[in-house]
Amino acid sequence: MKIIVTGAMGQLGHAVRKLSSGSEHSYVFTDMNESEDVFRLDITDREAVISMVGDADVIVNCAAYTDVNGAEANESVAMKVNAEAPGILAEAAREAGALLMHISTDYVFDGKGNVPYDEEMQPSPVNAYGRTKLEGEIVDKKAQIDQLNVEITSLRDDITTARQETEAAKEELEKEKDMVSKLKKMIQDLQKSMIANVGSGSSEIGAAVTSLPAGDKGKVLEANNEAAFAIIEVTPEAMMQLKGNDLMRPLPMLDFPIKRPGFNGPAGEIVGRVRLRQEVPGKNWIVCDILSNWTQAEIKKNDVVFAD
């Protein structure tokens, strides 16, 4: 963990330096006054602070304008160090994703109490030093609230996006279910039609077409590998090649390879073969048998039908 300590030459900073000796964490000590193991840093200089903080995990702010009497005569200077600078440190911490530990003082109270002060007691400074340190606390708390608001907004956006994606996924799933239902009904109707044709002695097939020119001919719309059937959609050009100008002509029972771009099997991109069986009236859809002896992998939706 990288920890940056400001005001390292002061009384509090010196104590932190002493406590850090032998720590497993990485400390970077800074102060207005540079020394052998302390880097110079003016905490009122925004660019210098952001550059120094970099990828720190924790910032411990021990720096302050602590001259109580001097603050009365130079309250604007004390305000810059004790109030504005913590705001700069808070900004740098926010950008780095670091934790800021800001050290305050009992001077934010008026000293009239008869019990020890805690964080919940109402501050009431009576001098410039106390006022500037209290203002530093307020700036730090405001920065925390601003960061929390940013995180809440981001979380709300994430939730909204997740809800939208969930709804879109539900809609897509319902569409897929509807398509599968329609295809199953279509298969049942076609199977009944095929049985009726067989019963009536119809055996006409388009024997004139024995092959098609090489190239992509369409894609798989749906496949049931267990039941060994698939529904393919061929291009209008491919349908013309299969049937010619006679739209009433039965389909030839040709075999077609099915490939999946990027697939790498024993036969390259080929995942299997199908045999044309029955045309779906009014569409360029064809019900096919999946030839199990040619199967390299499960045939899936959007696989490519081609002629070799």
Tens digit of pLDDT per residue, the chain (308 long)? 999 999 999 999 999 999 998 899 999 999 998 998 999 999 999 999 999 999 999 999 999 998 999 999 999 999 999 999 999 999 999 999 999 999 888 889 888 888 888 878 888 888 988 899 888 888 878 877 877 777 788 888 889 889 888 988 888 888 878 877 777 777 666 656 655 554 444 444 444 577 889 999 999 999 998 888 899 999 999 988 888 777 677 888 899 999 999 999 988 999 999 999 888 888 899 999 999 888 889 999 999 999 98
Check residue 75 and give left, alpha or beta (phi > 0: left; psi -120 to 50: alpha): alpha
**28 and 127 share a domain?**
yes
Name the pairing type of β-strands 285-290 and 229-234.
Answer: antiparallel
**142 and 44 share a domain?**
yes
Beta strand residue intervals within 72-159, DSSP E? 99-102
Whether 297 is in a domain gets the answer yes
What residues form DSSP beta bridges with 278?
A: 287
**7 and 146 share a domain?**
yes
Catalytic residue among 27, 65, 107, 129: 129
**117 and 11 share a domain?**
yes
**How many domains is the chain partitioned into structurally?**
2
- CA separation for the pair 8, 30 (Å, rounded): 6
Scan for tokens 């749906």, then name that residue.
222
**111 and 10 share a domain?**
yes
**19 and 114 share a domain?**
yes
Check residue 244 and give left, alpha or beta (phi > 0: left; psi -120 to 50: alpha): left
Whether 202 is in a domain gets the answer no
Whether 139 is in a domain gets the answer yes
Query: What's the token pair of residue 272?
Result: 């299997």
Domain C-terminal end among 130, 153, 176: 153
Active site residue 129: yes
**129 and 271 share a domain?**
no
Q: Quick check: 2 and 58 in contact, CB under 8 A?
A: yes
Whether 6 is in a domain gets the answer yes
Whether 289 is in a domain gets the answer yes
Whether 280 is in a domain gets the answer yes
**225 and 142 share a domain?**
no
Domain C-terminal end among 121, 153, 185: 153
**268 and 125 share a domain?**
no
Range of the domain at 104: 2-153
Whether 298 is in a domain gets the answer yes
Write the CATH number for 283: 2.40.10.170
Q: Quick check: 68 and 74 in contact, CB under 8 A?
A: no
Whether 187 is in a domain gets the answer no
